[in-house]
Structure 1
Amino acid sequence: MMDIQISPDETDWNQFIESNSGPIFNRNEWSAICSIYGHKSYNMAVINDSGDICACLPLIHLKSAIFGNTLVSMPFSEHGSIVIDESINDRNQAVDLLRGKAQELAQQKGVDYLCLRGSRYPSSKEFIRLSRYVTFVVETNSSMEDIWDSFETRFRTNIRNSRDHSLTTQVVENEASNFSHDPVSSYYNLHLRTMRDLGSPPHAKSFFVNIWRKLGKIDGAIFIFVIYDGIPINAALAFPYGDTVHYWGAVSKPNYRHLNGGSLLLWKCIKWAQNNGYQQVDLGRTRPGTGVYKFKSGTNGQEIYLDDLFYFPEEISMPPDPEDSKFTPLIRIWRQLPLSVTEALGPHLRGNIP
């Protein structure tokens, strides 16, 4: 007999996620990070006869006058959805229980849609599957030479060119790391510039402070920097968890991009993953056909479509498409704003864009 439990013990929840190859974004820490924007979390677990968790689904409720009313698993990431103990016999029943409970919650909250990101399980008649994004996965369980040789020539050339400019790299693994700058502030300053140049609102600094505090203490977050003349010019956040390093949020100084620091940054992450025994690097959600897609494809990593499942309690109302031409005027205006303005206004917008 299986039953649904809401908000089970946090330690049991995290242990279940870790034991069953769930993404770091399903842990309680990520829900707590999302809460800085005022979002409420709902942890749903299927409990077996022994009182143990055998499947789980975290959800975050985002409600905004601008971006709508949604339930998402999980926001600000490309992964989430259901994690299940694959050894149980009645996996389909567990999946149905969680989806059914999530649909009930979606109806209670009157959301526009419920989204399960990166779902590993088949859709049903109630859910629509969308595959709008891909990720590239670079295997790191071979020698460094084999990994290097697997890259496309253009990617290797960019890394070589970056070395000609005397760029250096550093990984900040924890607060005890010997880094001459505050890693959160250094990353955030680059994040502000990058997002402004993209015409997109930035996260609040407290978002990154909480990532560092909550995930850093479980060795689940690292900063990677490219340094030029003593100044960080490229940076990325990465989340090592299980057998995978999730490469997340690469940022840069726009006037230094010609130095190819972005290629060196990604290469440093891949080397760090290989040196520390991880099996692969997940390069994160990317829309096919974009410049970022072309850049990441230079690693020759395995291209994997990310399947998102959508449930619409009422009429089908697709989430906004950032590539829609109707956003072009707003993007142009945002790019012209002073950083102080984007820093003040941006988090009120970004915090509601899942």
Structure 2
Amino acid sequence: MKTILITNNAIKQLTPADFEPWDHYVKNHSQGSFFHLSGWQQVISKSFNHDCYFLYIEHEGNIAGVLPLVEVKSKLFGHALISTPFCVYGGAIADTTEQVRKLEQEACQLAEKLSVDYLELRYQEKQDSALLLKQAHSSFGCELAEDKEQILASIKKKQRAVIRHSLKNELSFSLESGKANLADFYQLLSTSYRNLGTPIFSKAYFENLVEVFGDNVDIAVIKNKEEQLSSAVMNFYFNEQVLPYYGGGNASARGLKSADFMYYQVMCNASERGYRWYDFGRSKNDSGPYKYKKNWGMEPKSLYYYYHLVNATELPNLSPNNPKYKIFIQLWQKLPLKVSQIIGPFLSKFLG
């Protein structure tokens, strides 16, 4: 393990012996997130076989800053060092601004050494950084009221009417930790991804998320009155937050308003369990999902993604809106579901 001395701090790489102090640091840092947790090193390594470089600063025997980095290398989609791929947040967190910049500096040096196309650091807050900035996404969230009626009242009037409509559709809500709902969830998510023209992850990836993060992950499944599947979502829990992260549905979802029903039930369930913040995740600015989340009454909060270009000459654009992916997306949407489930994981592992 390589150690580089920086004044009175030492930058080291995460080992299994450091998992507990790393996670303790993340959970107690104001900018710490679910996506900074050490478990992502295990999940990403096991699911995708990407090389992970989870760096931390040690000061007087204690962790004083962390930066999870993953190398994603593909002939088709490029070669990058990212904090953190498959996650909406990342970037360095530390005791001081100077230590954040030191971790970034180390990341830039690592990116040069690995000869990647670019380094990408995904921050929730604006940084006083010399790195290139791109603001293409926003996050959404809101405080959770203490009961169902107050939660419903806090939602924007038009969306509140949609939820009231869904409550009349005799939908069932099943929420389970572990793998109990995993098969139904994967079927619905695969259907949704195929319809969007997006390669689905392997089922093993979601199994690894459940295994590594344990009770901090659960899956909600919505069925109609005939017990037929409609919508599902995998939720992450961190400190006082709930994050409905991977969600999808089939053709019945729109008419039944099952996604609206599902997200409302997730909010209510989390509130009952003492969670106080609902993180509705990231959406590309002015996209359909962006407008959908605004309809709930949540205000967009800009995300700050910073880049250091190594071999690349311009900022990356892996967005589905990129014209060069248009034909690929149209072809993917026509694939049989089973075929998309077989081929998808070979591509999605590089779309971090």
TM-score scaled to structure 2, two decimals? 0.92
1:225 counterpart residue number? 221
Residues 16, 280 of structure 1: CA spacing in aligned structure 2 closer, same or farther, 3 A cutoff?
same
Flag structure 2 segments of 5+ consecutive residues without an equivalent: 1-7
Task: Give the distance between the partners of 2:162 and 2:197, measured in 1 at CA.
Answer: 26
What 5-or-longer segments of structure 1 have no aligned partner?
86-90, 176-181
Matches of 2:300 and 2:227 in 1, distance apart?
36
Aligned residues: 339
- 1:295 is displaced (CA, Å) by 1.6
CA distance in 1, matches of 2:97, 2:286: 35
Cα deviation, residue 121, structure 1: 5.1
Which residue does the alignment assign to 1:5?
A: 12
SS of corresponding position for 2:329: helix
SS of corresponding position for 1:237: strand
| Equivalent position of 1:272 in the other structure | 269
- Percent identity, aligned pairs only, is 25
Within the candidate set 197, 200, 211, 2:198 is matched to 200
In the alignment, the residues of structure 2 paired with residue 105 and residue 41 of structure 1 have an alpha-carbon distance, to the nearest angstrom, of: 12
Query: 1:280-338 deviations in whole A, cap 9, x for unaligned?
Result: 11111101222212221122123211111111124433222321222221111101111
> After the TM superposition, which parts of structure 1 deviate over 6 Å for at least 4 consecutive aligned residues?
none
Does structure 1 retain, via aligned residues, the 8 Å contact 2:125–2:303? Answer: no
Matched, 1:295 2:324: no
| 1:254 match: secondary structure | coil
Tell me which of 48, 71, 74 is aligned to 1:61: 71
Taking the aligned partners of 2:145 and 2:71, their CA distance within structure 1 comes to 38
Structure 1 residues 256 and 43: alpha-carbon distance in aligned structure 2, compared to 1, 3 A threshold: closer
Which of 20, 25, 43 pairs up with 1:33?
43
Structure 1 residues 209 and 174: alpha-carbon distance in aligned structure 2, compared to 1, 3 A threshold: closer
Name 1:19's counterpart in structure 2.
28
CA contact (8 A) 2:147 2:268 kept: no
**Residues 40-99 of structure 1, C-alpha deviations (whole Å, 9 max, x = no match):** 111111111x210011101011000101100111111101111223xxxxx122112101
| Residues in 2 aligned to 1:121 and 1:133: alpha-carbon distance in whole angstroms | 13
Corresponding residue for residue 235 of structure 2: 238
Q: What residue in structure 2 maps to residue 72 of structure 1?
A: 82
Structure 1 distance, partners of 2:243, 2:102, is 29
Q: Partners in 1 of 2:251 and 2:67 — Cα distance?
A: 39
Q: Distance in 1 between matches of 2:251 and 2:293?
A: 18
Task: Tell me the equivalent position of 2:5.
Answer: none
Aligned-residue RMSD, C-alpha: 1.6
Structure-2 residue corresponding to 1:128: 132
Residues 179-227 of structure 1 deviation map (CA, whole Å, 9 limit, x = unaligned): xxx41111111111111100110000000111111112xx211111112
Q: Does 146-155 or 274-283 show the bigger shift?
A: 146-155
Contact 2:178 2:211 in 1 (8 A): no
Aligned to 1:350: 348
Alignment deviations for residues 219-245 of structure 1 (CA, whole Å, 9 cap, x no partner):
211111112121231011110111211
Does structure 1 retain, via aligned residues, the 8 Å contact 2:185–2:232? Answer: yes
Return the alpha-carbon distance in structure 2 between the equivalents of residues 267 and 316 of structure 1. Answer: 44
- Retained in 2: the 8 A contact 1:60–1:71? yes
